[in-house]
C-alpha cells in the first residue's frame, strides 16, 4: 500500500548509507503500554486487527500493563483468550510509560516493531504508511503530530515552546511534536536493547541510535474512551528528562552566568576606583552590597540545584536497579533478547488468577 502525500516519509537527517528497497514480507510486533485502559483496549485491538489483517502480514501485539488500578488486566485476558496473537505483560507496579515501553521492546522478536499508545490517539490506520517507509529502506520511522483534535490552545502553545527549547540545547535531534508512535527495524531494536542506561526516554534514544531515519506526519485523534493519564505533571517530567538527559547546556549556562557576574563585579569595582581617584563623592554601598550578595547567592543556589539534578541522575544509574519488574507474562510470544537483569523469575510465569 502506497502512503498518501499527507503521510509520505520525510528524511530526518542526511542518511548514513543509501536506502535499499525491501521486498520481503516482514513479521510485525506491536508494543502497547497500558495504564487504566479497560474501556479502550478492546477497540484498540479491533482496529489493529482490521488494519493488520488487511495487510496480510504475520503480526502479534504485546500489551504492557503498567500497574493499572482498574480491570485492564481482565480486559487483556479476554483479548488473549479470543485471539492467540495477543499477549501481555503485567508489571509488578507502575513504573512509568517509558519503562513499560522498555519491557515491551525486551520481550518481542520480529522483523519490525511498532510502538504506540492504547488510547487510539495513535491511529492504527497509519501503520501501512510506516511499513511502506520501512520497505523504502528506512530503519526508524518516527511520527510527528501536526495537531491533536480537542487539545486546548494553551497546552498546544506550551508544548511547542518546550520542544523548541529542548531542540535548541539537546545533543540529539529530538523531533518536534514527536510521539512514541514509531516503527523500529530489528537492528534498531537491538541497538536500543543494548543501551546500558536505566532511565530511558525513547524520543531521544531512538534518534540517538542513528540508522536511516524518517518521520511521518499525522493528526492525533481524540481519545476514544476513558480518561487521559497524561497530565501537566507527566508532561513536565517528559520535558525535564529531555532537557537534562540529552543536554549539558545547563552546566555551561552556569559558567556563562559566573562570567557575567565576575564582569559586573569588576566593572563596578572600576567605577568605584574611578570615582575615588577623581575626587567624586563615593556611592552609597549598603543597597549595592545587599543586591550583590542576594544576586550571587541566588545564582549559586540555582546552579547548585541544576548540579543536584545531574547528580540524582548519576545516582539512579549507579545504583543499577532494573528499569522495570515483570509480575506476570501471558501469551505466546518470543521473549527476544531479554537481559538477565530484566528477565522475570520463573515463578512469575504462572497463570494469572488475581483480578480475572
Q: Is the pLDDT of residue 15 over 60?
A: yes
Q: What is the pLDDT of residues 240-263, one digit of tens each?
A: 665 666 666 666 666 677 777 767
Half-sphere exposure of 150 (CA within 13 A, CB side): 7
% of the chain surpassing 70 pLDDT: 65
Q: Is the pLDDT of residue 133 over 70?
A: yes
My answer on whether 201 and 327 are in the same domain is: yes
My answer on whether 253 and 211 are in the same domain is: no
Q: What is the pLDDT of residues 158-208, one digit of tens each?
A: 666 665 665 555 556 667 667 889 999 999 999 998 888 877 778 878 888
CATH number at residue 330: 3.90.550.10
pTM: 0.69
Flag the least confident range among 71-85, 225-239, 267-281.
Answer: 225-239
pLDDT reported for residue 207:
85
% of the chain surpassing 90 pLDDT: 23
Number of domains observed in the structure of the chain: 2
State which of 60-64, 144-148, 222-226 shows the largest mean pLDDT.
60-64
My answer on whether 220 and 338 are in the same domain is: yes
Looking at the domain assignment, is residue 356 inside a domain? no
pLDDT reported for residue 134:
92
pLDDT reported for residue 340:
35
DSSP reduced 3-state for 34: strand
My answer on whether 343 and 229 are in the same domain is: yes
State which of 116-130, 218-232, 253-267 shows the largest mean pLDDT.
116-130
My answer on whether 123 and 186 are in the same domain is: yes
Flag the least confident range among 123-127, 210-214, 273-277.
Answer: 273-277
State which of 114-118, 324-328, 337-341 shows the largest mean pLDDT.
114-118
Query: Alpha helices of the chain — where are they, by DSSP H?
Result: 41-55, 72-82, 97-106, 127-136, 153-169, 186-193, 202-208, 232-245, 249-277, 286-319
My answer on whether 200 and 312 are in the same domain is: no
Is residue 225 within 8 Å of residue 219, measured between CB atoms? Answer: no
pLDDT reported for residue 1:
42
- Residue 183 to residue 213: CA distance in whole angstroms: 10
Q: What is the pLDDT of residues 314-335, one digit of tens each?
A: 777 777 778 888 888 888 664 4
Residue 235: pLDDT band with limits 50, 70, 90: low
- Residue 190 to residue 109: CA distance in whole angstroms: 10
Looking at the domain assignment, is residue 291 inside a domain? yes
The per-residue pLDDT of the chain, averaged, comes to 76
CA dihedral sign, ordered 247, 252, 257, 258: positive
Q: Which domain holds residue 157?
A: 5-234+322-349
My answer on whether 198 and 329 are in the same domain is: yes
My answer on whether 340 and 308 are in the same domain is: no
My answer on whether 329 and 303 are in the same domain is: no
Looking at the domain assignment, is residue 129 inside a domain? yes
Is residue 206 within 8 Å of residue 141, measured between CB atoms? Answer: no
Question: C-alpha grid cell for residue 300?
Answer: 549559586
My answer on whether 262 and 162 are in the same domain is: no
pLDDT mean over 223-231? 55
Amino acid at each position: 500500500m502506497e502512503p498518501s502525500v499527507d503521510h509520505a516519509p520525510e528524511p530526518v537527517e542526511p542518511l548514513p548509507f543509501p536506502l535499499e528497497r525491501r521486498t520481503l514480507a516482514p513479521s510485525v510486533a506491536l508494543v502497547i503500554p497500558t495504564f487504566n485502559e479497560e474501556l479502550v483496549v478492546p477497540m484498540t485491538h479491533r482496529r489493529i486487527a482490521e488494519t493488520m489483517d488487511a495487510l496480510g502480514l504475520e503480526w502479534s501485539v504485546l500489551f504492557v500493563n503498567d500497574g493499572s488500578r482498574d480491570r485492564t488486566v481482565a480486559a487483556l485476558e479476554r483479548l488473549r483468550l479470543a485471539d492467540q496473537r495477543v499477549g501481555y505483560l503485567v508489571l509488578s507496579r507502575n513504573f512509568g510509560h517509558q519503562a513499560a515501553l522498555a519491557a515491551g521492546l525486551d520481550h518481542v522478536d520480529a522483523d519490525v516493531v511498532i510502538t504506540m499508545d492504547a488510547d487510539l490517539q495513535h491511529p492504527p490506520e497509519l501503520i501501512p504508511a510506516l511499513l511502506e517507509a520501512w520497505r523504502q529502506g528506512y530503519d526508524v520511522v518516527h511520527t510527528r503530530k501536526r495537531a491533536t483534535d480537542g487539545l486546548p490552545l494553551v497546552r498546544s502553545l506550551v508544548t511547542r515552546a518546550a520542544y523548541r527549547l529542548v531542540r535548541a540545547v539537546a545533543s540529539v535531534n529530538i523531533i518536534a511534536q514527536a510521539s512514541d508512535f514509531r516503527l523500529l527495524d530489528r537492528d534498531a531494536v537491538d541497538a536500543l536493547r543494548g543501551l546500558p542506561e536505566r532511565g530511558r526516554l525513547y524520543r531521544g534514544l531512538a534518534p540517538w541510535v542513528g540508522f536511516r531515519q524518517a518521520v511521518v506526519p499525522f493528526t492525533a485523534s481524540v481519545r476514544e474512551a476513558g480518561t487521559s493519564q497524561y497530565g501537566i505533571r507527566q508532561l513536565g517530567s517528559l520535558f525535564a528528562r529531555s532537557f537534562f538527559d540529552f543536554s549539558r547546556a545547563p552546566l555551561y549556562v552556569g559558567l556563562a552566568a559566573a562570567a557575567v557576574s565576575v564582569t559586573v563585579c569588576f566593572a563596578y569595582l572600576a567605577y568605584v576606583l574611578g570615582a575615588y581617584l577623581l575626587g567624586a563623592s563615593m556611592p552609597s554601598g549598603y543597597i549595592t552590597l545587599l543586591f550583590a550578595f542576594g544576586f550571587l547567592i541566588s545564582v549559586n543556589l540555582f546552579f547548585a540545584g541544576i548540579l543536584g539534578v545531574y547528580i540524582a541522575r548519576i545516582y539512579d544509574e549507579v545504583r543499577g536497579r532494573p528499569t522495570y519488574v515483570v509480575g506476570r507474562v501471558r501469551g505466546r510470544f518470543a521473549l527476544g533478547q531479554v537481559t538477565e537483569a530484566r528477565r522475570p523469575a520463573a515463578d512469575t510465569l504462572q497463570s494469572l488468577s488475581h483480578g480475572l
